[in-house]
Amino acid sequence: MKIAVFSTNQYDEDFLSQYNTGHQITFFKVSLSEESAVLAAGFEAICIFVNDVLNKQILDKLQQSGLKLVVLRCAGFNNVDVQYAEQLQIPVLRVPAYSPEAVAEHAMALILTLNRKTHKAYNRVREGNFSLEKLMGINLNQRKVAVIGTGNIGQAFCRILKGFGCQIKAHDPFPSLEMQELGVKYGTLHETLKDVDIITLHCPLTADTQYLINEQRLKLVKPGAMLINTSRGGLIDTKAVILALKSGGIGSLGLDVYEQESDFFFHDFSESIIQDEQLSQLISFPNVLITGHQGFLTQEALTEIAKVTFGNIDAFQTGSPLVNRIVKEGS
């Protein structure tokens, strides 16, 4: 098939080229948008990522130019109008579980870095400053951690926490028996957020989870607790979180995602002024650590993404069952 691949970096090109199963692929560094959609004209399939936009208007344009298939090289699909794609009889396929451990391990890396302040210690030592002042952390052993969402990534994270000896509370509409056997205690969101030292988000972004962490729910949180989000930026009301950081309601914040990340993430703005007041403010806080959506960035994850992506394309081309097809109610 003739495939247009959007939002590519060199690592995307390397892994997708290595595992290409004989398709004609063209890489575009730009994200898919109403302006860039013209680049996909004449392609049978498009391959997109987390910050590409595929709305009704773009789908109409691309269908008219021959689009037959949409493949996501990620698990989330809140950026795609799946229901309208179904109406156009354009299947949308994803990579549902490329490497849960990759994202789970990155979440733990954020926790460890914020807690033991290794990023600050690193910079100090490079300047010849070996002082330990203001570098004190806490033991994670026996600390209470709230895991919101126990799908593949959330479960991988719970297993990591178990190794640290943490007490794990969780909230998920579909509790996992395996996690319960591991000692994870499920409860309502209200119960799970209360009296914990760390809160970490591992749920999809839907209409129900938009601003899951908002002003009202932040009032439930133990003062000084750590908040981690490696899932989707829209799970957090950024304005409310900034106010909680200023008041001490949240002690520290670790993000690998940001609500308006599509304007900045995956690009170099080191020589520019960031035109986003909330992001600039967060970056300036000493108790905030932000990474640019790199949780998925491991060799294992990129290998699985490439293999499953081409497996999805091959299944469509050969008429095989589309096991990774996204179907929404009402489609």
Tens-digit pLDDT profile for residues 10-49: 999 999 999 999 999 999 999 999 999 999 999 999 999 9
Q: What's the helix, strand, coil split of the chain in %, to 5?
A: 40, 15, 45
Residue 73: give the domain boundaries: 2-98+299-318
The yes-or-no answer on residue 217 being catalytic is: no
Largest CA distance in the chain: 64
Classify the phi-psi angles of 117: left when phi > 0, otherwise alpha if psi is within -120 to 50, otherwise beta: left
Nearest CA to 12 among 255, 269, 309?
A: 309
Residue 232 among the catalytic residues: yes
Number of domains making up the chain: 2
Kindly indicate the confidence band of residue 262, based on its pLDDT and cuts at 50, 70 and 90: confident
Query: Is residue 244 domain-shared with residue 269, that is, in the same domain?
Result: yes
Active-site entry in 44, 171, 293, 304: 293
Whether 283 is covered by a domain: the verdict is: yes
Q: Are residues 104 and 58 in the same domain?
A: no
Task: Return the structure tokens found at 74.
Answer: 């990620």
Does one domain contain both 236 and 274? yes
Rounded-to-integer distance, Cα 172 and Cα 189, Å: 8
pLDDT range class, residue 331, cuts 50, 70, 90: very low
Confidence at residue 76, expressed as pLDDT on a 0 to 100 scale: 86
Please check the confidence at residue 131 and state whether its pLDDT lies above 60: yes
Q: Please tell me whether residues 157 and 273 are part of one structural domain.
A: yes
In a domain, 163, yes or no: yes
Per DSSP, the three-state class of 96 is coil
Looking up tokens 């119960």 gives: 191
Q: Are residues 225 and 105 in the same domain?
A: yes
Q: How confident is the model at residue 329 (pLDDT cuts 50, 70, 90)?
A: low
65, 38: one domain: yes
The predicted model scores a pTM of 0.92
The one catalytic residue in 143, 171, 202, 261 is: 261
Q: Are 58 and 79 in contact (CB under 8 A)?
A: no
Mean of the per-residue pLDDT values of the chain: 96
- Residue 330, in any domain of the structure: no
Say whether pLDDT at 5 is over 70: yes
Residues 132 and 264 in one domain: yes
> Of the candidates 317, 318, 321, 306, which has an alpha carbon nearest to the alpha carbon of residue 95?
306
Residue 257 domain-assigned?
A: yes
Active site residue 293: yes
The share of the chain scoring above pLDDT 90, in percent, equals 95
Q: Are residues 80 and 178 in the same domain?
A: no
Total Cβ atoms within 10 A of residue 300: 11
- Does residue 131 sit within a domain? yes
The Cα–Cα gap between 161 and 142 comes to: 10
Cα 3–Cα 1–Cα 31 angle in degrees, nearest 5: 10
My answer on whether 253 and 129 are in the same domain is: yes
- Catalytic hit among 73, 232, 259, 304: 232
The Cα 86–Cα 34 span in angstroms is 20
**How large a percentage of the chain has pLDDT more than 70?**
99
Q: Is 179 exposed, middle or buried (0-12, 13-18, 19+ CB in 10 A)?
A: buried
Residue 137 included in any domain: yes
Q: Whole-angstrom Cα distance, residue 270 to residue 137?
A: 30
Shared domain for 32 and 105, answered yes or no, is no
Q: Is residue 282 part of a domain?
A: yes
205 in any annotated domain: yes
Which DSSP helix (H) or strand (E) runs through 26?
strand 24-27
Domain with residue 52: its CATH number is: 3.40.50.720
Q: Could you tell me if 216 and 73 lie in one domain? A: no
Judgement on whether residues 61 and 134 belong to the same structural domain of the protein: no
